[in-house]
A and B are shown apart, each in its own frame.
Chain A
Amino acid sequence: MKRILIVDDEPHITRVLKLYLERAGYAVDAAQNGRAALDDILKSAPDALMTDIQMPIMTGKQLCLAIEEQLPQRTFPIFVMTSMTDREHREWTQKIDNLEFLEKPLSMRAMTRALDKYFGIAETDRGACHV
C-alpha cells in the first residue's frame, strides 16, 4: 500500500483528504506543518507528499527546500496544494524536480486520478524491470 503524507494546517482538509484517499486504497498520514512533516519524512520517506504552502512554523516552501537539501536522492513526488498561484511560487517550484501543482479548490477525484496515474506508470516501470 502506497503511503501518502498530507501536510496542511486546516484540520478539515487533512481529515477529508485522509478519508477520501484511504477509501481510494492509500495509506495516509497527516502533519500540521512543515516541521512535523520533515521529521516524519526523515524517519521514513513516503511514496508521495502532498503539502499546503501557507502553514505555521514551517511553510510548504521551506519544507520543499529542506527536502531538496537534505534528501537530494529523493524519488517520491511532491504535490503542492495552493490557492496562491502567483509568480513567486512558480519560480521556486521550477527549480525542484518531480514537483506538481494542485490548485485549490482541489477536486478529490482529480487528485486521486493524479496519484493513480503516477503510481500506475511507476508500477508499469517496475513491472518491466522484473521481466
Chain B
Amino acid sequence: MITATLVVIAIVIVLLFKNQTKLHEEKTRVQGVALTRALSGAEYSQLVPQTGQHSLVRSLVNAQGNENFAYAVVVNVSGEKLYETTSAGSITPTATMPTEPYSWFGEHNVISPGDGREIREFFAPVMKDGHLAGFIRAGYYNQQATIMSNQISSLGLMALPIFLLTTLSYFLIRRETRPLGQLSKRMEEAMLSYGVQLSTPGPAHDINLADFIQRFDQFMQLVQSRVNKLDNESLASRTGAHLITYKQEKAESALNAIPDAVLVIDDACIPTFANAKLEPILGVSREEIIGRQPQEWCKNKEVLAFLLRFRSSPSAKRSANMEYVSEGNPDQRISVAAYPLFSPRDQTTLFGMLVIFRDISKEYFARQAGVEFVSRVSHELKTPLHILAAYSELLLDHASLTETEEVDAVNAIHGEVERMTGLINNLLNISKMDTGTLQLVRKRVKLHDLMQDAFDSMSNNALGKGIVLELKIPPDLGSVRLDKDLFRIAIDNLLGNAIKYSNPGGKVTVSAQNLDNDQMQISVRDRGIGISPEDCEKIFLKFYRASNSETASRSGHGLGLYLARQIVSLHHGTLTVNSGPGKGSEFIITFKAQPFQLEESQDR
C-alpha cells in the first residue's frame, strides 16, 4: 500500500515536473516568437537607435519581464551586432543567419558561451526600405531540473493530500460503485426480460468499471434496438389509429344520419356521444351535453329521472321506455327508449346505455285520431240505434198511439236506418279506398238522370227540415263516363251536407254545366252557416269536423267530404269549395266528361 502510495507520489511529481517544463517551454516560445515578430515588423531606425534614443528592443524586453530572458540582438546580414541588450551575465553567442527567405523566421537551440546553458533562440528578419537589412535574435534560457529541486518539498506536501484523497476516493468509489453494481444487475435483469443474456455475467456487487462499461454498452445497444422496434411499432399504431379514426368517423356519421336523436351514456350516466338530431329535441347543444352530468343540461324532469335511473346499479341497466310531452311545445310528443350496450364479446360487460329519442307526435296524433274516429263512429252508430230502439219500443208498448204518432215513429225509424246505411257505406268505401282495393267501374251515364236520382232521394229529408231543393240541370247535358255508384256517394254526401248545414227555410241549388275542353262542372250550393277560411281546406281531411257550436249541433263523422274528394280524385277530377261564415257554401266538382278511350275497353 505504502509502496503504491510512494509510486503514486513519484508519478505525481514527475508528471507535475514534466507539466511545468512544458508550460515553461510554451511560455518561452510564445514570448520569443512574439518578441521577434513584433520587432521584425518595426522600423529599422527604432531597432537600431541613434545615441541618446531609447531602443524599442529594450522596451519590449522590459515589458515582457521574463526571468529566463538571455539576450536580444539586432544583427546585419553578415551577423555583426548592431544593437544588443542582455540579462545580467549573459553573453550572446554568435550564429550564422539563414539566407533563403523561407527560413528567415525560425528558432533553434544555442549554447550560452558563458556558462554552457541551453538557450532557445528565436529569430526574425529586419527589413529596411524593402530589403533584408539583418535579423533580430532573441534568446531565452531553457528551464533546468535544478530549478525543480527546491520545489520538491512543496510538491511532496501537495502530493500528501492527493494521497489521502486517493485512498478516500478508493473507498468512496468502492461505495459509489455499489449502486453501479446494482444498476448493472438491473440492466441485466432488464435485458433478460427481453431475452438477452449479458456476455459477462458476474457478481453484480463486485463489478469493475470496465465490466460495467461493457455491460452498459451492451445495454445501450439493446436499448437502441428496442427504441427502433418501438419506433416501428409506433408507426404501425399510428396507422392503426388512423384506420380506427376512419372507422369511428364512419360509425359516427351513420349514427348522425339516423333520423332519431341518439344519445350514448357511459356507466356513470355521462354522455359520450350525441347526434345532431338531439339538439332540437332537448333544446341543448351537443357540446353542452357531452361529458357532463345530466343534471347540468337536462331541463325536463321526466327525462332526467329516466336517465338517472341507469346510474344506480348494474341491474338498473335494462331496456326501458318512456313517453313525454315536450314542455315548450305541447303538440310535440317524444318517445324515449334506452337499451344497454353490451360488449360484443362479453355479455356481462356493459359499455353504458344507448338512448334513442323519437318524435312520435305524428304517430301519436294519428293514433289519437284513430281512437277518436272509432269513438265518434260508434257514437254516430249508437245515436240512430238509440232512436230506433226508442221508437220501436214506443210502437210495441203503446197500442193507443194516434195515427200521426205512429207515422212519425215509422218515419223516424226509416230516416235513422238510412242514416246508418249511409254511414256504413261511407266507412266501407273509405276502408276500400285506404287499402287500395276500390275498383272504378266507369259506365256511360246521363248526368241529368244521375243528379235527378240523388235529388229525389234527398228531397224527403230536405222537406222534413223545411228546406227547398232546386235542381238546375239541362236535360240535354249529355252523357259522362263515370262509376255511377261511387259518384252517387260523393253527390249524396255533398247534398246531405248542404241540407244539414242549411238553416230552416233555406234553399239548396244543384246545377251542372259543360265547360270548354270537354270538362263537366257540378255545383252544390247552400245558403247555410258557411265555413271559415281556416276550415275550408281542413274539411277535406279524414275525420275533420269544424269545431264550432253550429257544427257540433249537427251530427257527423268527418268522413263525407274526405270520401267525396277521394272519389272525385279517382275520376281525375277536382272538388273545391267557395264559402265564408254565414254566406253558405258552394262545392264544385270539375271532371273530364269523356275520359281516354283506353278506359272504355274495360266496360266490354
Chain A residues with CB under 8 Å of chain B are 9-10, 12-13, 15-17, 19-20, 23, 33, 54-57, 83-84, 86, 104-109
Q: Which one, B394, B400, B550, contacts A16 given CB within 8 A?
A: B394
Q: Contact between B383 and A104 (Cβ–Cβ < 8 Å)?
A: yes
Q: A9-B553, A16-B409 are in contact. Are A23 and B386 (CB under 8 A)?
A: no
Cβ–Cβ < 8 Å partners of B400 in chain A: 23
B386, B394, B550: most-surrounded residue (chain A CB, <10 A) = B386
New A-B pairs, 14, CB < 8 Å, besides A13-B390, A104-B383, A105-B389: A12-B415, A12-B416, A16-B394, A17-B390, A19-B401, A20-B393, A20-B397, A33-B553, A56-B552, A57-B549, A83-B386, A84-B375, A104-B386, A108-B393
Please determine whether B385 and A16 come into contact, CB atoms closer than 8 angstroms. Answer: no
Task: Specify which chain B residues have a CB less than 8 angstroms from the CB of A107 in the assembled complex.
Answer: 389, 393
B412 interfacial by beta-carbon distance below 8 Å: yes
Residue from A20, A54, A55, A86 in contact with B390 in the complex, judged by beta carbons closer than 8 Å: A20
User: Counting chain A CB atoms within 10 Å of each CB, which of B388, B393, B397, B553 scores highest?
Assistant: B393
Bound form: Cα–Cα A19–B408 in Å = 12
Per-residue A-contact encoding for B394-418, CB less than 8 Å = 1, 0 else: 1001101100010011001001100
- Which label, helix, strand, loop or mixed, suits the secondary structure of the B interface? helix
Residues of B near A13 (CB, < 8 A) are 386-387, 390
Residue of A with least CB distance to B382: A83
* SS of A interface (majority): loop
Interface: B542 (CB within 8 A)? no
- Residues in A with CB closer than 8 Å to B391 are 12, 16
Shortest Cβ distance from B411 into A: residue: A12
Alpha-carbon separation in the docked complex, A15 to B390 (Å): 10
Which residues of chain A are near B214, meaning CB under 8 Å? none
At the interface, yes or no: B379 with Cβ under 8 Å from chain A? yes
Structural contact, A10 and B387, CB atoms closer than 8 A? yes
Q: B378: CB under 8 A from chain A? A: yes
Give the nearest-CB partner of B416 in chain A: A12
Given A107-B393, A108-B394: A10 in contact with B550 (beta carbons within 8 A): no
B412:A16 contact, CB within 8 angstroms: yes
Chain B residues with CB below 8 A from A12, complex form: 387, 390-391, 412, 415-416
> How many Å lie between the Cα of A11 and that of B415 in the bound state?
13
Compute how far the CA of A16 lies from the CA of B552 in the bound complex, rounded to whole angstroms: 22
CA of A106 to CA of B393 in the docked complex: distance in angstroms? 10
What separation, in Å, do the CA atoms of A86 and B379 have in the docked complex? Answer: 11
B401: chain A residues within 8 A (beta carbon): 19
| Chain B 84-118 interface residues, beta-carbon cutoff 8 Å to A | none
Residues of chain B within 8 A of A17, CB atoms compared: 390
Q: Give the residues in chain B near A10, CB-CB below 8 Å.
A: 383, 386-387, 555
Q: Are A57 and B553 interface neighbours, CB within 8 A?
A: yes
B387 with A16: CB separation less than 8 A: yes
List, in ascending order, chain B residues with CB within 8 A of A84's CB: 375, 379
Q: Does A83 lie within 8 Å of B394, measured CB to CB?
A: no
Most buried by A among B379, B383, B390, B394: B390
Bound form: Cα–Cα A56–B552 in Å = 5
What are 23 residue pairs bridging A and B, where the CB atoms are less than 8 Å apart in the complex?
Answer: A12-B391, A13-B390, A16-B387, A16-B390, A16-B391, A17-B390, A19-B405, A20-B390, A20-B394, A23-B400, A54-B552, A55-B553, A57-B549, A83-B383, A83-B386, A84-B379, A104-B383, A104-B386, A105-B388, A106-B386, A106-B389, A107-B393, A108-B389
Min Cβ gap A88→B in Å is 10
> Please, which residues of chain A bring their CB within 8 A of the CB of B386?
10, 13, 83, 104-106
Cα A59 to Cα B405 in complex, Å, equals 29
Q: How far is the CB of A111 from chain B (nearest CB, A)?
A: 9
Whether B378 and A83, one on each chain, are in contact in the complex, defined by CB atoms closer than 8 angstroms, is yes
Q: State in angstroms the CA–CA spacing of A108 and B392 once bound together.
A: 10
Query: How far, in Å, is A13 (CB) from chain B's closest CB?
Result: 6
B398's closest neighbor in chain A, by CB?
A23
For A9, the chain B residues whose CB sits under 8 A away are: 553
Of chain B, the residue at the smallest CB distance from A58 is B549
Cβ < 8 Å to A, chain B residues 201-232 = none
B379 touches A83 (CB 8 A): yes
Task: Give Cα A16–Cα B405 distance, bound, in whole angstroms.
Answer: 10
B25 to chain A, nearest CB (A): 122
List the 4 closest A-B pairs by CB distance, nearest first.
A56-B553, A83-B382, A105-B389, A16-B390
B409 neighbours in A (Cβ, 8 Å): 16
Give CA–CA (A104, B378) in the complex, Å. Answer: 11
The answer on a CB contact under 8 Å between B375 and A104 is: no
- Bound Cα distance from A17 to B387, whole angstroms: 10
State A75–B238 Cα separation when bound (angstroms). Answer: 88
Q: How far is the CA of A54 from the CA of B375 in the complex (A)?
A: 12
Residues of A within 8 A of B394 (CB): 16, 19-20, 108
- Taking CB as reference atom, which chain A residue is nearest B389? A105
Q: How far is the CA of A33 from the CA of B385 in the complex (A)?
A: 21
Chain A contacts for B379, CB-based, 8 A? 54, 83-84
Which residues of B sit under 8 angstroms from A55, Cβ to Cβ? Answer: 552-553
Q: Would you list which residues of chain B between 404 and 435 have a CB under 8 Å from chain A?
A: 405, 408-409, 412, 415-416
CA distance in complex: A66, B387 (Å): 28
Contact A104 B549 (CB under 8 A): no
